[in-house]
């Protein structure tokens, strides 16, 4: 079962590191264990944001969106 995100961001076309900064700001206002959905460009934006968030202890699931996008489903760490 896929959780329902409390907030959704469309950051396709937003360059690094601004997409990471916007994602972090959105996570800060969520309650612990809250879910955030972020759509990004695939490749470097997807991997940079996902790896950075995992490094901070957040849970991140990546889904590829055709033709060249990615959707991150992020659960904020406690």
Domains of the chain and CATH, by start: 7-75 (3.30.110.40)
49 is written with which tokens?
A: 């944001």
Q: How confident is the model at residue 78 (pLDDT cuts 50, 70, 90)?
A: confident
Cα(1)–Cα(58) distance, integer angstroms: 19
38 with 70: CB under 8 angstroms? Answer: no
53 with 74: CB under 8 angstroms? Answer: yes
* pLDDT averaged over every residue in the chain: 95
Say what the pTM is: 0.94
Residue 73 has a pLDDT of 97
Q: How confident is the model at residue 13 (pLDDT cuts 50, 70, 90)?
A: very high
pLDDT tens per residue, range 22-52: 999 999 999 999 999 999 999 999 999 999 9
């Amino acid at each position: 079962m896929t959780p329902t995100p409390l907030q959704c961001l469309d950051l396709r076309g937003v360059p690094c590191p601004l997409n990471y900064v916007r994602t972090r700001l959105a996570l800060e206002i969520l309650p612990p264990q809250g879910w955030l959905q972020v759509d990004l460009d695939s490749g470097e934006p997807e991997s940079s944001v996902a790896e950075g968030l995992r490094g901070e202890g957040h849970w991140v699931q990546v889904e590829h969106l055709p033709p060249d996008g990615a959707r991150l489903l992020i659960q904020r760490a406690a």
